[in-house]
Chains A and B, each alone.
Chain A
Amino acid sequence: MRNYAFTIMLVCSYLAVSQNCKHTLSGKVLDLHDGSILSGATLVVAETESISQTSIDGDYTILGLCENITYSIRILHSSCEIKTFYVKISEDTQRDFKLEHHLEELNEIILEGKAYENNTNTTLENNVSKETLERYSTGALGDALNSLSGVSSLNKGNGIVKPIVNGLHSSRIIMVNNGVRMQDQEWGAEHAPNIDINSVGRLTLVKSASALQYGGDAMGGVIIAEALKVPVKDSLYGKTMASLTSNGRGGVLTSELTKSHSNGWYGTVQGSIKRFGDFEAADYILSNTGLIEQNVSLCLGLNKFNYGIEGYFSFFSSKIGVLRASHLHGAADQVRAFESNTPLIINDFTYNIGAPRQNVKHQLARIKGFKTFENFGTLSLQYDYQQNNRLEFDIRRGDDRDKAAMDLELNTHTLLLDYENDFEHKLDLKSGLMARYQNNFANPNTGVRRLIPDYDKYELGIYLLGNYALNDRWLLEAGARFDYTHLDVYKFYRTSFWEDRNYDVLYPHIVVEDLGTQVLANPNLKFHNASATAGLKYTFKDNYQLFLNYALASRAPNPSELFSEGLHHSGARIELGDLSFNSEVGHKVSATIQRDHDTFSFSINPYVNTISDFIIIEPTKILETIRGNFQVWEYRQTSAQLLGVDIDAAYKFTDKLNFTHQLSIVKGYDRSRNLPLISMPPISTKNEISFEHPKFHNLKLALQSEYVFAQNEYPDNNFEVYVPETETTELLDISSTPSAYHLLNFNSSIDFEITKTSLLTVGLGITNISNTSYRNYLNLQRFYADDLGRNFLLNLKFKY
């Protein structure tokens, strides 16, 4: 075999001599992760045995290459893995090579890094940079994600911000925090992810279900938050950041300290505290919208070349006020609130947070170990435990005044076993097993019927993912996953509902106890879900990449879709679930064409997502109760289709002047009834012009324009309400969407070197410069109040 190869090489070199051999190959060698230049890298051309090195700017030039020959170029760098690239020469060629880090950040962290950076290879991943995260330090995680194309957010006021990816949210998005899939009652539209934005070092978004290692039910996508990697060397570093805002008259203090040692041990401690009073719209105070957040995270680990262990713990606690004027009883109250242009309750500014409010505590503990076996691969084992406690306080009467109206405790244990091969680079394999146990406990002492019942959930999952590099240009990827879910539920049904739904005929065997007005039932539900992905990546013309991906996702219905049955105060409506639901199955095809270039870069990402048995909630009737009329919303399964395109572009006028553009379009339809889907993000575009002067204290100035169109496609859910006071029947318009709006934001920062190892960054920002009054279709508070007015933000960051 070796002789053959030698002969071929001889023939090749013979041919080469007879051809034009005056071509050059030049370019840069870069770090795969952050694109930083790698100087002093050695490039060995196997065919000619010529050797060249990259300059201090990472540039290299190889001379005397022949036409129509594919050369193999082996690149070595002290801190990277050795990698061989194949390049076919037909003319003078420019080509950048990317290498993966090796020595400084030891093994598993790299493998981990690889797992994180390449969650999927055939879908374009979007990242929120550390800089952007720091800019959103006073906001929520959802605000930072909102800076990516294709992402919008479902808000309840300004404290509760839920990401929407390509039109989908809640249970259709997987949130991963430091390798742990968050189990934080994500099903509710007003339940924001319980992650402290200041603990996140890197935020990655995969806009499809193709990252199967985290789950097979990510119809919308996967959001991955992770801490920054710790280098294996003796060092002590950290940062402290203080941000103050005029709107909300509060701020954030966050601090982080990392100690690492050359023997592989490392530890990080991080904490932050956030405090705001009532926020303000352009013309008035949004009463009871203050918030308090306290977070701590700790990480301790040992990182050796072929084994390691890491423990991580985080505690997240938040108290978020909900606009006082948005708490209503019944449809007639809604009519009054809708008729008013300003909120019905506006009090003086205060830091106090009264009812309604949410108090949420989330604890997460994770321990993970890995070991690399030669000629086999790396095995890792992770156990994590999460506890989520959610208290919701309503406006109540008498002894119940200070008692939570909802008190849920969700405990989750997960065990993960993952394997990753370490064969030569052509075929990468990843597979794993998952076992999870979850218990939800709804405290009966609230004196309010449980919205989410008590349940035990058992899950098992298995996956296999692989990608194969055909050559340097073509990469193929495929994977499959199977999940089994078993729900063991104890739920009290109102007898009237139980009989109305015909459950007494359909499910008599699950009745445990009949209490007259209530029936205790014990449904046992089992779901078998298959998911898969297949895709390809093609690199052409050096800086173009084409991604093509198909993802099949299956999602078991969540507890609120199955078991809701009663008044949901935040929507002033009665919500009814359905016990007979089966899993949603989604097919998403997405393509991305990307050009990565110094002056002009862009990416265009169209997609089609077709989902069968899509679960939606819609109004069905008006119900008369002793408190007046309520609208009844029922969950229903249908066929849905979402189509859209996300566009990103960046143009560099000069070294210092940049322009970036973003456009997101998504359309969603209920195909069985031929209606638009509710709460689809309207078309939005962001354009930013930025100026950078690295030599003058790294000065950065940016002006951003954000234009959000009116959503012109929405279902008509309006209904009529009789108002006794006026003896009239009023149309309650809950469907019409707010008009388009334009916001201008300014952001700036400047660095000052305090000592050789410490740096002070001062940032100043203004959002909504023109103090525009606007309402956002995706803010549940939009019926009652305007969105946020102008805000000045001062940010001081001290790095040491």
Chain B
Amino acid sequence: MKKSIFLIPLLILALIFTGCSDDDTTPEPVNEEELITTMTVTLSPVGGGSDIVLKTVDMDGDGGNEPVITINGVTGNEVSLTVGTSYEGSIELLNESEDPAEDITEEVQAEAEDHQFFYTSSSSLDVTTNYEDEDINEKPIGVYFTLIANAASSGDLTFTLRHEPNKSAAGVATGDITSAGGETDITETFSITIE
């Protein structure tokens, strides 16, 4: 009786240690599913002319390398717009770490009431932006917009996507980010010159 008591834990141990023999398989890599690697803003001049493509790419997401900004395929963040011209704008978001690249714009549009883009210009820059799309609550999303380059000026233009913003807060529906709240999913600043 006395000795048999010791056999019980030993038996259990034997079972467990044989149970967890190591199989040397390496873990599988994780594909970041929600990662946004690429934002492309396309500005098409109304009435003709070639598109202006503003692009930022950060292949390794949070951390690691800094994003690479290109304008019409050339590295740099200087954009020039023409005085008095209206542009039709659209934004495309991609996760290029997956193959084929995942279209995040679709996800944003599917959850339109939880997302909104903001176009914030510095006070020196004379531009006007208007939303050209809306969610089921008739609030803006901002994947499509128009941008009017007014007088000759220069300054920064920042594109920001907010997740779960308060779309009913003051000024948010007209594009004022101040009381929008929510979390920033993506943000990039471009340097604009209107001439």
Contacts and interface: CB of A to CB of B under 8 A. Distances in A.
B111 interface: yes
A418 to B, nearest CB: 13
Interface string B15-30: 0110010100011111
B120 A724 contact: yes
Contacts of B5: 307, 309, 369, 371
Contact of A413 (B16, B122, B158, B185): B16
B128 interface: no
A494 B186 contact: no
Interface string A323-365: 0000111101100100000001100000000000000000000
A697 interface: no
Contacts of A332: 184, 187
B51 interface: no
B29 A369 contact: no
A659 interface: no
Contacts of A309: 5, 8
Interface in A206-247: none
B187 A497 contact: no
Given A344-B181, A367-B12, A447 B111 contact: no
A567 B55 CA distance: 23
A565 B160 CA distance: 26
Contacts of B6: 369, 371, 381
Interface residues of A, number: 70
B50 interface: no
B64 A492 contact: no
Contacts of A701: none
Nearest to A567: B62
A162 to B, nearest CB: 26
B63 A307 contact: no
Contacts of B10: 381
A194 B51 CA distance: 58
A626 B58 contact: yes
Contact of B186 (A454, A520, A576, A626): A626
Nearest to A379: B6
A567 B63 contact: yes
B186 A627 contact: yes
A727 B9 contact: no
Contacts of B168: none
Contact of B33 (A448, A454, A496): A448
Contacts of B158: 724-725
A395 B8 contact: no
A701 to B, nearest CB: 46
B64 A497 contact: yes
B121 to A, nearest CB: 9
A446 interface: yes
A625 B126 CA distance: 27
Nearest to B123: A727
Contacts of B122: 724, 727
A730 to B, nearest CB: 14
Interface stretch (B34-42, B84-92, B129-137): B34-42
A136 B8 CA distance: 38
Nearest to A447: B33
Nearest to A382: B9
11 contacts: A332-B187, A383-B9, A397-B114, A490-B27, A496-B63, A497-B64, A518-B29, A522-B26, A625-B62, A627-B185, A632-B63
Interface of A: 307, 309, 327-330, 332-333, 336, 344-345, 367-369, 371, 381-383, 385, 395-400, 411, 413, 415, 437, 439, 442, 444, 446-450, 453-454, 456, 490, 492, 494-497, 500, 512-513, 515, 517-518, 520, 522, 565-567, 574, 576, 623-628, 630, 632, 724-725, 727
